[in-house]
Structure 1
């Protein structure tokens, strides 16, 4: 792949003083050398602003905005990007050094590619063992009922512009999935590099955690917004939906069979009996 192609790496940051430097360093250390790093401060607290100020020499642009959410921060960063390719990176995560080069090679080899993502190493705060998450990628049909890519991924700036960018009304999560649906709605596919080139921290009080709490409202919003696609691919949509319900039911059954659940049932049984008496 030509080394003169400019990649704009966009890093939105909100109150992330602890991890932002590692995210920036992972952008700097990419083996593809022609890149610009744009950090968007989404109305962070004083501690984060101090850290960002100290890191300003490491980046090309630091954009400050009031707290408008991740979608607006990403869009504002991309608007000021000079590269034809955009890589969005969350401020508490980091890429392995070879991601950009491998992603560009994929774009170069297939003109039908609209998005490049990869496997992710999930890093848990309170667990010592990590887990490899493997998104499947694919065409828009693969994205009808859930996200088949990571929120941090590479795409072309022209494609971002053509589909209208991230939905700035979505401040509670899943905005990356909704954006990918529009990105792929006119054709093309998302390609997955089958290596864990992304390190994804699973933390409490993040946008993803908030999205899980507002899950059903967000699903209703996305399904309604893309009703036309769900009708066009109705058979595929329903197949995926039923499959997800079956999977959740099996998981619930497995949980009920676990020894911890059975012990909890035994412990709570007398209290339920007492409560029933006094109804």
Structure 2
């Protein structure tokens, strides 16, 4: 592939674990994109359903699609595997049950091409299930708010070079959840602009077996916060005057009080 082709190519990386029921719909939403050229890399992460067979059928049907099959290693490992293998200079992670609008990639690429200071482009989003769509009010991005919670869904576009500089997705977070939040912290804590497109470009499917529900216990939350503090202590100190706390919104006032008392 020539350098100019690689520069314009967008690689959509789709980790898939037991999402065969939705995978074709997800891939078709990408194939309907107004932007070209692109490639679709499905990473089958040790699925126990028919995901691998469906992915293989899609690859035979559509030349833009190819499949990587690996033992189950979690979504971070699957994303890293796909991005490592990607030929494109711009990456869009997309889970195997979510959807994008046809104009999303084209609009995001225009921003990344025109504004080198921008590291991440995403859009407005909605959540949906079989009952219909539900509004999703994403908070505006700021580095301070990112220290407290994530406002950028996993399916934002970024440059492959910035993924590498950030240190890739943290595969150690396999059982902690919120890997995308930690990745955006790594990507953005020391600079870089973020643009949210003014339209709905991402559709997040709500399912009974979502990982977020499985990683919402107090014990897992404490493990996740300890991991974040161990990796990003200087960032939290700058934005929160100390470490991230279990009750995240209390972090800065609590840290400030402890410092005033000489206990931090």
CA contact (8 A) 1:26 1:96 kept: yes
**Which range is displaced more, 103-112 or 5-14?**
103-112
- Counterpart contact for 2:170–2:183, Cα < 8 Å: yes
Q: In the alignment, does 2:220 pair up with 1:220? A: no
2:139 corresponds to: 136
Q: Which moved more, 1:18-27 or 1:221-230?
A: 221-230
Q: 2: distance between equivalents of 1:34 and 1:45?
A: 32
1:241 to 241, 249, 254: 249
Correspondence 1:193 to 2:197: yes
Distance 1:244 1:192, change over 3 A: farther
1:155 matches 2:158: yes
The DSSP-based 3-state class of the residue aligned with 1:31 is coil
Give the aligned partner of residue 18 of structure 1: 21
For 1:98, the equivalent position in structure 2 comes to 103
Q: Distance in 1 between matches of 2:33 and 2:148?
A: 33
C-alpha distance in 1 between matches for 2:193 and 2:140? 7
In 2, Cα distance between the equivalents of 1:61 and 1:51? 12
- Between 66-75 and 144-153, the greater mean CA deviation after superposition: 144-153
Alignment size in residue pairs:
242
* Alpha carbons of structure 1 residues 205 and 155: separation in structure 2 relative to 1, 3 Å: same
What's the offset of the Cα at 1:137? 4.8
Given that 1:118 and 1:134 are in contact with CA atoms closer than 8 Å, whether structure 2 keeps it comes out as no
What's 1:230 paired with? 236
Unpaired runs of 5+ residues, structure 2, are 254-264
Distance 1:7 1:152 in 2: 13
The aligned residue for residue 253 of structure 1 is: none
Q: Unpaired runs of 5+ in structure 1? A: 246-279
SS at match of 2:20: coil
2:186 maps to 182
Q: Report the aligned-residue RMSD.
A: 2.5
Is residue 66 of structure 1 aligned with residue 74 of structure 2? Answer: no
Correspondence 1:204 to 2:212: no
The structural deviation recorded for 1:207 is 2.0
The answer for the alignment partner of 2:259 in structure 1 is none
Q: What is the DSSP-based 3-state SS (H/G/I as helix, E as strand, rest coil) of the residue aligned with 2:122?
A: strand
Instruction: Give the Å deviation of 1:111.
Output: 2.0
Shift of 1:191: 1.6
- 1:18, distance to aligned residue in structure 2 (A): 0.6
Q: Which moved more, 1:56-65 or 1:79-88?
A: 56-65
- Cα shift readout 1:172-207 (whole Å, capped 9, x = no counterpart): 311111011000122112221132211101112222
Distance in structure 2 (CA, Å) of the matches to 1:150 and 1:63 = 24
Instruction: Give the equivalent residue in structure 2 for 1:248.
Output: none
Q: Distance in 1 between matches of 2:185 and 2:36?
A: 30
